Amino acid sequence: MNIAQSLAKLNLFIEGKENETVFLDLGSRYIKGIAQEQNKIKTAFAEEATSDHAKDVVSALRKHRLTSARVNLCVKGPDTIMRYIPFPRMEKKNLKQSFGFELGKHIPFPADTVYFDVCVIEEEFSKTESLVLLAAVKKEMLAPVIEEAAKEKIKLSAITLSPLAIINTFLTGQNPADNCAVIDIGYSSTSLSLIKKTVPYLSREIKVSGKSLLKKISTIKNCDLAEAERILITKQNPEELTEISEEIFLGIAEEIRSSLDYFEMNTGEQISSLYLTGGFSYIPGVGKIMANSLGIETKPWKPWEKPEIPLSEKNLPQDMFSAAMGLIP
């Protein structure tokens, strides 16, 4: 089993199976969904999110007549944790139980307040240890979603973390020969994952994000955030957008630089390519800004083979569905 397959099996909650599946990325601005039937993508949609994700999930599924499908979710945010941890080698069937005894050492929350899972991503990390990836999320974040789904007879099949979904898809589709970084620029945060050849090495969230840019546009244009978002989506005056965006993306680049320095210091190697995805990666000039700041080749990355996926709203950027695509087996 390769790393991508291992990550695909790393789930925080499992129940039920059906032929029709919905892959939902629970973002802070939108809930992004992809519906699949008989291994064929039917549609992709995005619904505005509120502070009540449990109600949002049910509402989105009802609107698109998908309440009878099984549902795979991914989440991210301050209530989630990803760690790469050396751990004594053992049979994989015993790993989660053994790791559970030491879980409290590796997370900033009490162990009994989280859902978690682990998988081995490097068997021979040292003479006696494997490198284990830990994914955890606070129960208070997921419990309302799980309870509301049960109440509405919605079949939850799996829950995982959004950065893991993106890494999984990237490793499945790209098979990188060199060290690279995958950058997912979202509404409330920017996710960064560094990959050493084919092994995830570091994952973190950066607070500078699309919302930072929307606030700046709102101030400059004297408009609300909704109008600022419309200006971005429709790409009014691309040159002006690039100029307005530069400070925000230079801020993201500086955060990324510190992680690249950490990678080089600990591995003796460098990151050779940056891959951009996420709902705010489509902004004109963002790749050039990042490349010039970091001195590294920067490429747009879309986790699907064909240039189009069937969107329910044609003005939505495909890049915002990267994590949802990563949930597809």
- The confidence score (pLDDT) of residue 179 equals 92
Closest CA to 76 of 29, 22, 44: 29
Domain count along the chain: 1
Is residue 112 one of the residues assigned to a domain? no
CA pair distance 251, 82, nearest whole angstrom: 23
- Angle in degrees, CA 81, 167, 144, rounded to 5: 45
Residues β-bridged to residue 34: 23, 44
* Residue 39: pLDDT band with limits 50, 70, 90: confident
Position 16 pLDDT exceeds 50: no
Is residue 72 one of the residues assigned to a domain? no
Average pLDDT over every residue of 187-197? 91
- The confidence score (pLDDT) of residue 316 equals 67
Model confidence pLDDT, tens digit, residues 43-80: 889 898 988 999 999 999 999 999 999 999 999 988 99
Of the ranges 14-18, 146-150, 280-284, which is most confident? 146-150
Is residue 267 one of the residues assigned to a domain? yes
* Residue 7: pLDDT band with limits 50, 70, 90: low
- The confidence score (pLDDT) of residue 241 equals 82
Residues β-bridged to residue 120: 132
Is residue 189 one of the residues assigned to a domain? yes
* Residue 31: pLDDT band with limits 50, 70, 90: very high
* Residue 268: pLDDT band with limits 50, 70, 90: very high
- The confidence score (pLDDT) of residue 132 equals 92
Is residue 325 one of the residues assigned to a domain? no
- The confidence score (pLDDT) of residue 17 equals 42
Is residue 310 one of the residues assigned to a domain? no
**Residue 7 C-alpha from the chain's centroid:** 13
Structure-block tokens of residue 36? 């699949």
Position 314 pLDDT exceeds 90: no
Is residue 294 one of the residues assigned to a domain? yes
- The confidence score (pLDDT) of residue 199 equals 87
Give the predicted TM-score (pTM) of the model: 0.85
* Residue 182: pLDDT band with limits 50, 70, 90: very high
- The confidence score (pLDDT) of residue 111 equals 92
- The confidence score (pLDDT) of residue 1 equals 47
Is residue 313 one of the residues assigned to a domain? no
Average pLDDT over every residue of 194-204? 90
Position 10 pLDDT exceeds 80: no
Structure-block tokens of residue 250? 């230079």
Average pLDDT over every residue of 132-159? 92
217: CATH: 3.30.420.40
Residues β-bridged to residue 155: 70
Model confidence pLDDT, tens digit, residues 88-107: 998 888 999 999 999 999 99
Mean pLDDT computed over every residue of the chain: 86
- The confidence score (pLDDT) of residue 308 equals 57
Of the two residues 317 and 196, the one the predictor is more confident about is: 196
Structural contact between residues 43 and 324, judged by C-beta atoms closer than 8 angstroms: no
Structural contact between residues 96 and 135, judged by C-beta atoms closer than 8 angstroms: no
Position 305 pLDDT exceeds 80: no
Position 143 pLDDT exceeds 90: yes
Domain of 258 in residue numbering reads as 176-301
Closest CA to 8 of 108, 131, 158, 193: 158
